[in-house]
Structure 1
Amino acid sequence: MNQNYPTAIITGASKGIGRALALLLAGHNFQLSLIARNQGELKDLAAEITEIGHRPLYFAGDIADEAFIKMAIEKTAHTFQKIDFLINNAGVGAFGPTESYTSEKWDQVFDTNVKGTFLCTQHVLPHMKEAKKGHLITIASDVAKRVFDGGSLYCASKYAQHAFTEAVRKEVRKDGIKVSTVYSGLVDSHFHADPQGDPSHADWLSPENMADSIYYIMNQPAHVVIDELMIHPLSQEY
């Protein structure tokens, strides 16, 4: 633990955008706390980051499980003595006609995309308020501001995530806490039906493109906050 190094919690850290961001931040001397469901993938990522120079914490579990999230955040705060950044990146999707969704699928998507963002934010805020600084960054989607055929469930969850983040921004600005939301278009990641690296994704954003953009938001002077960033591949209309 080194008080001179910034500390960041990343959810959904084991794949895609979260993984790319973790590796980028590790190269910039961040102390990292990594949260995802897959224990094996987290362990492999932690080993890769340790080789870069800093041993991260990692926690395998469900971000909609309040006891798990509280434990992970408290252990992070105890180990590093501060939490400078929370990146709410974990997300799941479900697509198709509205009548095709089960109530269980509805709950699963809202639990991860909305409840998980709420729980992580809620349990990090006391540490940031005590420090009178901190930065909450939520990786949303451009469908938090538009809708598409077959996306009623996913769009609803992202609209809710957007509204929650917008309200928190107004709530904590007076406490010196920054809140940023990233609205991304098509990203070549595991999130889609085709695998990451599929030729059909050639013109899409890469996880590394997203990581660079998030790091740009994180790396602003103390008096500057980027409230929102809308980002797309040039090949995608918006």
Structure 2
Amino acid sequence: MTDLTDKVAIVTGASRGIGRAITLLLAMQGAKVVAVARTAEELEELNAKTQGLAIPADVADEDDAAHIVAETLSHFGRLDILVCNAGVGSFNLLEHFDAAEWDRIFDVNVKGTFLLCKAVVPHFKAQGSGHIVGITSDVSKRTFEHGTAYGASKFAQDALLSSLRKEVRPHGVKVSTIYPGLVDTYFNDSRPGSLDAEKTHLKPSDVAQAVRYVLEAPAHVVVDELMLHPMTQEW
């Protein structure tokens, strides 16, 4: 298995929920984690636990994305892992969506993934190694009522990562995609910890363990896709 000790990892959407759980778990495994989110106060509190690097940033801003990678390389001198976890969602009938909300969902879920990948791929290719992990959703594989915007963004994010996997594999770079079902987080203004969620939702730590699994797989093993099922909490 791949040892994560001293590996340098960027995790986006790190201040809460899945991103926070991934950040804490990777730090526990000895990785040096760069936590990225828009909320500086929450990032600093998290960074106090991990002793990594906190970078307040908007993943959908091209200058911010380039800054995240440049600051990571300047601080640690290397970069091994990118976890594209930042995501937003909103659910409504299509005719009730306005263009600004549609753009916000695509900016974070798709453009944010694109910009961070664009910033790290040249570095990963040059060093002949690196691992990108995308946290998409099980709705990358299915559709549902009221899910036009979110579902379309997750289909697009999944296609982006799948295509990128084929581009970078010859250069020794891995791309893995994780598809969680319902997760007990603050997503879409939810409040974690409800009784129903405990029965029907994954925990953020379940997704974090899936990320650890794909990252620790031996170098010759490629895990392209990993689906997590909330009802059984199995993957």
Bin for the TM-score computed over the shorter chain: over 0.9
Give the TM-score of the pair, scaled to structure 1: 0.93
The Cα of 1:30 is off from its aligned counterpart by 0.5
- List per-residue Cα deviations over 1:142-163 (Å, max 9, x = no partner): 1011000000000000000011
Give the TM-score of the pair, scaled to structure 2: 0.94
The Cα of 1:141 is off from its aligned counterpart by 0.2
CA contact (8 A) 1:92 1:191 kept: yes
Q: Tell me what 1:168 maps to.
A: 164
- List per-residue Cα deviations over 1:35-65 (Å, max 9, x = no partner): 101111001000121xxxxx21111121011
| The one of 191, 198, 217 aligned to 2:214 | 217
Distance 2:89 2:190 in 1: 14
Q: Tell me what 2:11 maps to.
A: 10
Alignment of 1:146-225 (within 5 A): 146-203=142-199, 204-225=201-222
- List per-residue Cα deviations over 1:82-121 (Å, max 9, x = no partner): 1111000000001010011110001100000000000000
Distance 2:188 2:64 in 1: 27
Given the alignment of the two structures, is residue 228 of structure 1 paired with residue 229 of structure 2, yes or no? no
How many residues align? The count is 229
Q: Tell me what 2:109 maps to.
A: 113
Distance 1:77 1:160 in 2: 29
Distance 1:109 1:115 in 2: 9
Letter in 1 for 2:209: D
CA contact (8 A) 2:137 2:180 kept: yes
Q: Tell me what 1:28 maps to.
A: 29
Given the alignment of the two structures, is residue 46 of structure 1 paired with residue 42 of structure 2, yes or no? no
Q: Which runs of 5+ in 1 are unaligned?
A: 50-54
Q: Which runs of 5+ in 2 are unaligned?
A: none
Q: Tell me what 2:60 maps to.
A: 64
Distance 1:28 1:206 in 2: 19
Identity of aligned residues (%): 45
Give runs of ≥4 in structure 1 deviating > 3 Å.
none
- List per-residue Cα deviations over 1:174-221 (Å, max 9, x = no partner): 000001000110110000443011112012110011111110110011
